[in-house]
Amino acid sequence: MNQLVKSLGFYLDGLRTPLLKKKILITLGLLVLFRFIAHIPVPGVNLALLHSFFAQNQLLSLIDIFSGGTLANFSIVALGLNPYINASVMIQILSLLIPELEALRKEGEYGRAKISHYTRIATIPLSLIQSVGMYGILRSQNIIQSLPPLTLLALILSMLCGTMIMIFLGELINEYGVGNGISVIIFAGIISRLPLVLFQTFKIADFSHPQTGINLLIFTVLAFFLILGIVFVEEAILRVPIHYAKRAQVTYLPIKVDTAGVMPIIFAVSLATAPSLIGQFLSRLSSPQLVQIGLVLDRLFLPSSYLYVLFYFVLVIGFTFFYTSVIFKPKDVADELRKSGGFIPGIRPGHSTEKRLHYLINRVVAIGSIFLGLIAITTSLVQRMTGITTLTIGGTSVLIVVSVIIELTRKIENVVQMYNYDKLSY
């Protein structure tokens, strides 16, 4: 209890620091701008039919959650950050295959800026492709009218500009606000959808039936333990002892169980929905063979299907290992330890230390990846257990929300500590 009071006092004192207040106000202002843009619809769309179509389509409803409701409104930022996330995955995969890209990552701020530039360039064609695909799906449902070429081009370009605006807002938050810009925008989108989802759930719930109350109670209890589990795993670390012979001191190299954070799930959800989206697009074409393939893909990869759940689970595990290999390189860590005179007790510096770190990180990441995979498929499992299908904000969204909140608290602590340090140094 005393620790909780001290923590609350620390954050309240921190809110009085001018630097933190400025960063928070900038972040809130940019998020307000994002929510304003999210309600600017593209012309020519029947919003009533669009909302009805999304209510009946679990896949698009899931994608809409990660876009913050921009897709259901078919606003100018309807694509959200999906093209940028997919471009990031492509660039990171290419960096493992192209030595020049890998070398750029090691060049500090300049290299990161160049990688970010390439990612933005790769986002452009992906945005154009997804815009055309989305138009095709909505046109087949008579939600949007058949547009003349110039009008269609304007629609596609407006959606491309919307995606670039989202990226720009995320980078502004990175530079002038608090937290990771992309994660904060996705977090704001999920939170903004929560009141609507809860309202829809209570609107259709039949509280005269005892089973409804039991299902809601089960859902609430599961959500509570889910949040506890997320916080526990997010804070769990493996402390690897590091000795320094010349300094006669012992420190620890912390390896987080959830080293990759929430990014593997964000990557996986972008790709897990691709087969069904492709299937829906193919099913609207004139070729009978393509239509048949599209119907099969759409049926097999529905969010409620077991194949989709398994595919999603495997993607999360794969991306967890992949993303961890990008952000944590045992060879680089081993080289830094050797240069600074540090070593793991009982392990020779250099190659032996690298092998030991590989061994440790693979086993820690295995635990974290299975945890992330289970979190990702929680939505489908809970819906099957309780029959509550309107609460599509499930484990994935809860993980993103909790992870971003934890990350924001750490950023706030760092800002407050830096401010206090600078104040004492004068």
Query: Is the pLDDT assigned to residue 96 strictly greater than 80?
Result: no
Most trustworthy range by pLDDT among 49-53, 125-129, 375-379? 125-129
Residue 391 to residues 62, 196, 213, 399, Cα–Cα distance (Å)? 10, 10, 15, 15
Bridge partners for 45 per DSSP? 144
More confident position, 320 or 421: 320
Segment 58-76 shows an average pLDDT of 64
How far apart CA 78 and CA 135 sit, in angstroms, is 11
Q: Give me the chain's average pLDDT, please.
A: 76
Q: What is the pLDDT of residues 227-252, one digit of tens each?
A: 888 888 878 888 888 888 766 667 88
So what's the pLDDT on residue 388?
54
Residue 383 to residues 58, 210, 215, 380, Cα–Cα distance (Å)? 12, 18, 10, 5
For 53-57, 99-103, 179-183, 241-245, which range has the lowest pLDDT when averaged over its residues?
53-57
More confident position, 157 or 80: 157
Q: Give the rounded percent of residues in the chain with a pLDDT score beyond 70.
A: 74
Position 124 confidence tier, pLDDT thresholds 50, 70, 90: very high
Cα atoms in the 13 Å half-sphere on the side-chain side of 262: 23
How far apart CA 181 and CA 167 sit, in angstroms, is 8
Give the 3-state secondary structure of residue 319: helix
Amino acid making up residue 145 = Q
User: Six-digit token pair at 263?
Assistant: 């990014």
> Domain 19-177 is in which class?
mainly alpha
How is the chain split into domains, by residue range? 19-177, 209-426
Q: How far is CA 94 from the centre of its chain?
A: 20
Same fold, 19-177 and 209-426: yes
Amino acid making up residue 354 = E
So what's the pLDDT on residue 10?
55
So what's the pLDDT on residue 125?
92
Q: What is the pLDDT of residues 321-343, one digit of tens each?
A: 888 887 788 888 888 888 888 88
In 3-state terms, the chain is what percent helix, strand and coil (to 5)?
A: 75, 5, 20
Structure-derived torsion over alpha carbons of residues 67, 72, 77, 78, reported in degrees to the nearest 10: 80
Q: Give the rounded percent of residues in the chain with a pLDDT score beyond 90.
A: 1
Give the 3-state secondary structure of residue 256: strand
So what's the pLDDT on residue 4?
46
Pick the CATH number of 209-426 from 2.70.150.10, 1.10.3370.10, 2.40.50.140, 2.40.240.10: 1.10.3370.10
